[in-house]
Structure 1
């Protein structure tokens, strides 16, 4: 099967190069990496022409490795140049342009911006850097997307993590191409008058997204349903209630609240189902291709075209092009082609959790759905459909399970119960919400009311479904910890089981048993060493004085009285340490 998907191997080697590039950034000049890649490509072409397959495979693999190293180093140099453009200049003011719609936070609104120039010694100097800007929610002037601001003050580099296992916010933003932040209270900025400039497709898509938000707010009276549709379709969670997010987290369906490949795939499958009849015509395939790409593009515009949707839309377009023009397509190969295109132009996407989970979920569906679905073949149509959705959910969950544990440290016990219902309801909700946007332009009241009813009832059913697990015992297992070697071992286990099933060579199950033994041995030994280790930590937490002492599986936290109530500070600065040190019980000791 893998022999029919050569791009899987190509992407794997490219990813290896991107990951290894961190070791070469300081010792391998950019020009050397480019020259090495060029020489290897020419050598690979010569070996291919001479039909020396083994030598060509080795040489081309090394070329891909150096290509991954080069594109990552190239991006690093670009970001370093942008950072130096500000750090090496003294400036008092800067001009920026708002690039994203404002996102509501607890006490502020947040948006991404591009800084175009800085005022240094009375002279404006052009620069080009991205920044994350926060403004108090009660500010007199809240800028909109496309607005230009002149700000008095300086941008700030995000602080590096100062506590053990603390989330690295600086690296997280850098992987998104953002290296600067700014907090702008009233009086520190001025919105410039509008200038007659071409808005560009990015700004246009955000305006479309803003219009879609107004349509949903106007038509949907239930706040919970509106918050769900806004999160699923527009990718903005600022109108979701905290208990609503908690319901989705504990049910294992929080991924549907972020616009991702799954959402684009639902739209794609719906469009393919409704327009499949076009392919019977003589020129119907071209019309089917154009219509599908147009509708996918419209959905991408509605969401504001965040990177996750751009990646997923590209993936689906590659699929539909392969379907229309290819004699024979292999799903994994097509998936790998889209991943290659994304990583070649944006190597930092490799570090994006959404990118990793989206492609792992699609991989699980392509490789594991059929074996799981074949385990049970009910005759009744309704039961068969329910089982197919359940198998689809299992396949995606199984493929993302190790990485989800690594990042989120929790496991929803009843995901298998809730996911089939959520998938079924969202398969109705997403297309219906898009249809609502379309019919809102027609001013046909009865049609708009009918579509709005479908959106409301499917959103309510989705919200109701995810609230069920909280009423059951043991709905969430928390504070689970996996190291990266353990995650890799689990994925090797999954691959060996799948490969044994696919090739019917069950001798590979011997390696599975051996790897299970190694995995258990490593996990138990590491847990024992962690349990026996005693450790004292003094934390650097703004506004608080905190230190801890770990003994066995207990953590004694000595802190000021306010820290025990500051759950946000605990979650951000301490919780990762608790999880990584496998602490079962945290005991707060209040100081003065």
Structure 2
């Protein structure tokens, strides 16, 4: 074996490359000054590198200094990460449609349109801009939302070419604080502009102009979805099976999603590594008869890889599926050529491949949690499973499942809390409960699709009912979810360091690392205690931005009074008003419409005036201001 080969197998070669590459992506994406001058930095670095290597490589014997070479390679990888990220941003191109004045845009639908709440929404690639007497080729992506007109029914498909009026605008920042940041979410998908149209404003110019393979697979997936719709008796079963097996989530019931979210099993509703792993295990077993000689083993390996990538294409190339497909492909090939496969190295290699393809995957929550889960399985699971040695075969299988769930949950815990602001207490019970039913659902569902076995439909329906009913009962357990867990960036950092140092300390039996983890926990608790203390003293007025409604919050300590026509269980209240209150440790909320005199604590609402501490506001003026279209305003009261 060559030296280079041994290095890449025995040492975390790709892990070492991944770290500076990711840092380059992050710096270019989030630091404006760095992003704007990345081309200058690349040019200067390239010229300086050539001069130093030419002048000093032999004279100073740099080839003997491993530290210098290592630092140089890290800088090169860092710059490459930044350069790829900058070149991936289409706004840097002079032909981006936002930089060209136009009256109409010619666009191509770039993904399967989604129908929801009377609107059809899709991502489009802008290919041409038109002005009177002038046209220009363009690039860039646009999010289009079209209001469906019952008198003008329009069926739009992937690959359709449309003519639209050029009334796009930049995606707005969130109107209310602590709410979902739709602008950042779209930006991480390379979409920075959107437009809202009526169906009468859209003209279909052509069809079938997308990628022929993607077009075929979308049609194939829709055909399978229609088959599910035909064989299942109710919409819940059809939508659940379409989501679990095909990744088609558009019609999934919100109540089902809420149950899976509360029980820590939402990953089962996203096509992910679990699905790819089950397909691999099934194919590996089904094609075991090919394990006779090297040629047939390679036939088996290539067949499994083709099936896995076909499934990845069928599910729409979700980042989690891409990660799993690349990783399992590397694992299968490595195993076939009889090389020792280092799990962390394969995981890092997978991340590098995907980030080279699209560096913005780094900001995808599913991508982050998916990679962390696998890292937990590769690194933590062996350690946790060795805590208890069980000889009984059945009990050992249960402990194995528990240790897998604990490993995945432990390593994703900081990011899950940061993103979703809650923690499912009974995640162990829930994941154990669904492990067998979801496996059976996957296998039965795939068999039914492949061979049109309609008689399996009642079995699958019962399995879905059993799984959802069981999780529904677990979700009703007392304290099933710890809510309102809002972390700042510093608290997230302390929590990550605490978990990482604790895990490393326990795995290496290193007392210093365990002590450092305790210090990080102490800092985390101190930061949390300081925020709690600040919350007791807070006095704020927040004027919310609510379309068609008004909302004014008066916060005093951990109590808030909200003047609005909405009720606390209304969807808009939960989505637009409650998050800010939760983030600021408000645990007691009172709602009044303001139409009648109201007095509580330091707030008094009369017929014409509102008095909060020493501040007096005309009620009619405040309500008129609330109905203007603008961002929410937060004011601290001194």
Same fold, TM-score > 0.5, yes or no = yes
Equivalent position of 1:283 in the other structure: 295
Equivalent position of 1:370 in the other structure: 382
Task: Please give the alpha-carbon distance, in whole angstroms, between the structure 2 residues aligned to 1:272 and 1:584.
Answer: 53
Task: Please give the alpha-carbon distance, in whole angstroms, between the structure 2 residues aligned to 1:513 and 1:144.
Answer: 55
Once the two structures are superposed, residues 471-499 of structure 1 have per-residue CA deviations (whole angstroms, 9 ceiling, x without a partner) of 32122221111222222222222222222
- Which of 240, 245, 248 is equivalent to 1:233? 245
Equivalent position of 2:417 in the other structure: 405
CA-CA distance at 1:89 after TM superposition: 3.5
Equivalent position of 1:23 in the other structure: 31
Task: Please give the alpha-carbon distance, in whole angstroms, between the structure 2 residues aligned to 1:512 and 1:26.
Answer: 33
Mapping 1:73-88, distance limit 5 Å:
73-76=86-89, 78-81=90-93, 85-88=96-99
Mapping 1:7-406, distance limit 5 Å:
7-21=14-28, 22-25=30-33, 29-36=37-44, 38=46, 50-76=63-89, 78-81=90-93, 85-137=96-148, 139=150, 140-194=153-207, 199-275=211-287, 278-325=290-337, 327-406=339-418
Gap change, CA 1:276 and 1:584, over 3 Å in 2: farther
Task: Please give the alpha-carbon distance, in whole angstroms, between the structure 1 residues aligned to 2:116 and 2:389.
Answer: 48
Task: Please give the alpha-carbon distance, in whole angstroms, between the structure 1 residues aligned to 2:228 and 2:586.
Answer: 45
Gap change, CA 1:376 and 1:334, over 3 Å in 2: same
Task: Please give the alpha-carbon distance, in whole angstroms, between the structure 1 residues aligned to 2:503 and 2:338.
Answer: 27
Contact 1:41 1:63 in 2 (8 A): no
CA-CA distance at 1:339 after TM superposition: 0.3
Equivalent position of 1:567 in the other structure: 570
Contact 1:260 1:308 in 2 (8 A): yes
Once the two structures are superposed, residues 544-563 of structure 1 have per-residue CA deviations (whole angstroms, 9 ceiling, x without a partner) of 3322222111222223x2x3
Once the two structures are superposed, residues 455-481 of structure 1 have per-residue CA deviations (whole angstroms, 9 ceiling, x without a partner) of 444433332332121332122221111
Task: Please give the alpha-carbon distance, in whole angstroms, between the structure 1 residues aligned to 2:124 and 2:525.
Answer: 48
Task: Please give the alpha-carbon distance, in whole angstroms, between the structure 1 residues aligned to 2:210 and 2:85.
Answer: 32
Contact 1:30 1:74 in 2 (8 A): no
2:528 equivalent to 1:523 = yes
Gap change, CA 1:270 and 1:211, over 3 Å in 2: same
Gap change, CA 1:147 and 1:526, over 3 Å in 2: same
Once the two structures are superposed, residues 322-341 of structure 1 have per-residue CA deviations (whole angstroms, 9 ceiling, x without a partner) of 22235211011000001011
Task: Please give the alpha-carbon distance, in whole angstroms, between the structure 2 residues aligned to 1:507 and 1:30.
Answer: 40
Task: Please give the alpha-carbon distance, in whole angstroms, between the structure 2 residues aligned to 1:461 and 1:39.
Answer: 65
Task: Please give the alpha-carbon distance, in whole angstroms, between the structure 2 residues aligned to 1:402 and 1:123.
Answer: 53
Task: Please give the alpha-carbon distance, in whole angstroms, between the structure 1 residues aligned to 2:220 and 2:488.
Answer: 42
Equivalent position of 1:443 in the other structure: none
Secondary structure in structure 2 of the residue aligned to 1:556: strand
Task: Please give the alpha-carbon distance, in whole angstroms, between the structure 1 residues aligned to 2:557 and 2:9.
Answer: 47
Report which stretch shifted further, 51-60 or 373-382. Answer: 373-382
Report which stretch shifted further, 29-38 or 539-548. Answer: 29-38
Once the two structures are superposed, residues 285-325 of structure 1 have per-residue CA deviations (whole angstroms, 9 ceiling, x without a partner) of 31232011111022113213234433332222222222223
Gap change, CA 1:549 and 1:215, over 3 Å in 2: same
Contact 2:160 2:210 in 1 (8 A): no
Equivalent position of 2:440 in the other structure: 428
Task: Please give the alpha-carbon distance, in whole angstroms, between the structure 1 residues aligned to 2:494 and 2:291.
Answer: 44
Secondary structure in structure 2 of the residue aligned to 1:468: helix
Task: Please give the alpha-carbon distance, in whole angstroms, between the structure 1 residues aligned to 2:131 and 2:264.
Answer: 51
Gap change, CA 1:413 and 1:307, over 3 Å in 2: closer
Contact 2:25 2:359 in 1 (8 A): yes
CA-CA distance at 1:120 after TM superposition: 1.3
**What residue ranges of structure 1 are gaps of 5+ in the alignment?**
441-447
Contact 2:9 2:341 in 1 (8 A): no
Equivalent position of 1:491 in the other structure: 496
Task: Please give the alpha-carbon distance, in whole angstroms, between the structure 2 residues aligned to 1:178 and 1:450.
Answer: 44
CA-CA distance at 1:355 after TM superposition: 0.8
Q: How many residues are matched? A: 580
Q: Of the two, which has the highest radius of gyration?
A: 2
Please tell me the root mean square deviation across aligned C-alpha atoms, in Å. Answer: 2.8
Equivalent position of 1:444 in the other structure: none
Task: Please give the alpha-carbon distance, in whole angstroms, between the structure 1 residues aligned to 2:292 and 2:519.
Answer: 52
Equivalent position of 2:594 in the other structure: 591
CA-CA distance at 1:419 after TM superposition: 0.6
Task: Please give the alpha-carbon distance, in whole angstroms, between the structure 2 residues aligned to 1:269 and 1:137.
Answer: 44
CA-CA distance at 1:276 after TM superposition: 5.1
CA-CA distance at 1:153 after TM superposition: 5.0
Gap change, CA 1:38 and 1:315, over 3 Å in 2: farther
Instruction: Tell me the TM-score normalised to structure 1 length.
Output: 0.90
Equivalent position of 1:542 in the other structure: 547
Task: Please give the alpha-carbon distance, in whole angstroms, between the structure 1 residues aligned to 2:13 and 2:578.
Answer: 42
Contact 1:99 1:203 in 2 (8 A): no
Task: Please give the alpha-carbon distance, in whole angstroms, between the structure 1 residues aligned to 2:365 and 2:472.
Answer: 25
Gap change, CA 1:386 and 1:301, over 3 Å in 2: same
Equivalent position of 2:484 in the other structure: 479
CA-CA distance at 1:172 after TM superposition: 1.2
Task: Please give the alpha-carbon distance, in whole angstroms, between the structure 1 residues aligned to 2:333 and 2:9.
Answer: 21
Instruction: Tell me the TM-score normalised to structure 2 length.
Output: 0.84
**What residue ranges of structure 2 are gaps of 5+ in the alignment?**
1-7, 596-638
Task: Please give the alpha-carbon distance, in whole angstroms, between the structure 1 residues aligned to 2:584 and 2:213.
Answer: 47
CA-CA distance at 1:364 after TM superposition: 0.9
Contact 1:161 1:168 in 2 (8 A): yes
- Which of 470, 478, 482 is equivalent to 2:475? 470
Task: Please give the alpha-carbon distance, in whole angstroms, between the structure 2 residues aligned to 1:540 and 1:118.
Answer: 34
